[in-house]
Amino acid sequence: MNDVLLTIILIVIKLGLVLGTVLSLAAYMVLAERKVLARMQMRHGPNRVGPFGLLQPLADLIKLLCKEDLIPERADRWVFMLAPAISVGTALLAFAVIPFGAPLQIFGRTIELVICDLNIGLLYLFALSSLAVYGVALGGWASQSKFALLGGLRAMAQMISYELALGLAIVPVVMASKSFSLTAIVASQQSLPNALRHPLAFLIFVIAIMAESKRTPFDMPEAENELVAGYHTEYSGMRFGMFFVGEYVNLIVLGSMLTVLFLGGWHGPFLPSVGWFLIKILAVAFFFIWVRGTVPRLRYDQLMAFGWKILVPLGLLNILVTAVWLLWRG
Amino acid sequence: MGIVMSEQHLLDYMYVLVFVLVGLAAAVAQVVVSRLFSPPSIQPKTGEPYECGMDPYGSAWGIRFNITYYLYALIFLAFDVDILYLFPVAVAFDTVSGLRGVIELFLFIGILSLAIIYAWAKGVFIWTKKKPAG
């Protein structure tokens, strides 16, 4: 009985810690992005609220909460209300399986630093990233606005196309580590991170997650100069905030996926494992922001052609090469 | 440690369920809080869709968009299932006897990529330009 109680308490603590960390990290990622982008464009960025603008996310939250929550007259009300929740929910749910540190030993108990180590963790992540398409597609459709509909369509086609490349890039990793469990995949990278073992898969994966997250150079779904704001044109107040937070939570999810699958997860010298995990996620996020500050937007047909004509065939080829390599190595 | 394997699995999914509930609660709470604070101000034009300040023209659900979006969705449907078949192949790859496994993988992927080659040859990936009006 005591044991069961302790387990439940542990789970609650882990849940609270993970959700709290992820949400506050997402809020500060917004600030970090604005700051870094500003610096790259020779500006200062937000620096009025609190020291160095550190209270800006809080101010933004209060502002969004106090804004009017509009639902357009002609919109499909229920779908309109549901869409942002799908967007934020699928992103948050992904954290249930991501291992963020080496197992801890406290009072003779081994505590796994992952909420639940599903034996199909990778499939679960893949399924969630497919479900995330519904958030933007339904949001764009339900608003009954032309900008939103076009943005939703573009987002849908782009996300499903790059999901194929994403899936194909994961296959060689699974072939080498022989498991779908993310903990096992991290454990298999103790000596050498997968990025060095499968460089081509790593490259495909990085490009695919950049397109999945709908960020520059792949931000056609919300291209502001042609589509206003894309699929969330009609959203206001906290519902817009949910799309926005969902996007940044998703950024952290994709960063953790990259870290777990290719960058060796929590392995690293000297620092505690959780520290390494955070450093790697932040490095990936910084890279994303850097790319956004550097690269111009592609054209939509170029984007789709790149996905289907280059990434998918390369992914297939990579699987075959990995198979031959595994056979040759014995 | 008397937990049977299947019960352990159930327990794992219980955590996922708890995560779903907490996520849902967070999503609903935000909307409820904003309901309490936000000032409603309904004007005659408030409920109209945004079209850069012009009066909305027609319905958004009646507009025509490029058929290519639909074609991409179709090939995705065909191809994504194939990729899902690749996952079990990948996880059990080392249990198949070497050369035979690789040859089978080559055959499977060869047949699989026919879907893309077919779409490619049919010109799905060429974005058709709209003919200029008039």
Top pLDDT among A103 and A131 is at A131
- In the prediction, which pLDDT does A64 show? 84
Contact A66/A149 with Cβ under 8 angstroms?
no
Chain B residues touching A300 at Cβ < 8 A: 127
Considering chain A, what is the average pLDDT of its residues? 84
Mean pLDDT, residues B58-76 taken together:
80
3-state secondary structure A245-287: HHHHHHHHHHHHHHHHHCCCCCCCCCCCHHHHHHHHHHHHHHH
Domain boundaries, chain B: 1-41, 65-121
Which amino acid appears at position B58 of this protein? G
Residue A170 in contact with residue A260, Cβ under 8 Å? no
| Residues of chain B contacting residue A117, judged by C-beta atoms under 8 Å apart | 12
Under 8 Å between Cβ of A155 and A214: yes
As a whole number of angstroms, the distance between CA A295 and CA A4 comes to 53
ipTM for the predicted complex comes to 0.78
pLDDT at B11: 72
Nearest Cα neighbor of A243 from A161, A142, A160, A116 is A142
- Using an 8 Å CB-CB cutoff, list chain B residues near A312: 79, 116
Residues within 8 A of A (CB atoms), B 79-118 only? 79-80, 83-84, 86-87, 90-91, 93-94, 98-99, 101-102, 105-106, 109, 112-113, 116
Cα–Cα dist A317/A168, whole Å: 10
Model confidence pLDDT, tens digit, residues A99-116 = 887 777 776 667 777 777
**DSSP string across B93-134:** GGGS-HHHHHHHHHHHHHHHHHHHHHHHHTTTTS-PPPPPP-
| pLDDT computed for residue B3 by the predictor | 47
Contacts of B131 (CB under 8 A, 6+ apart): none
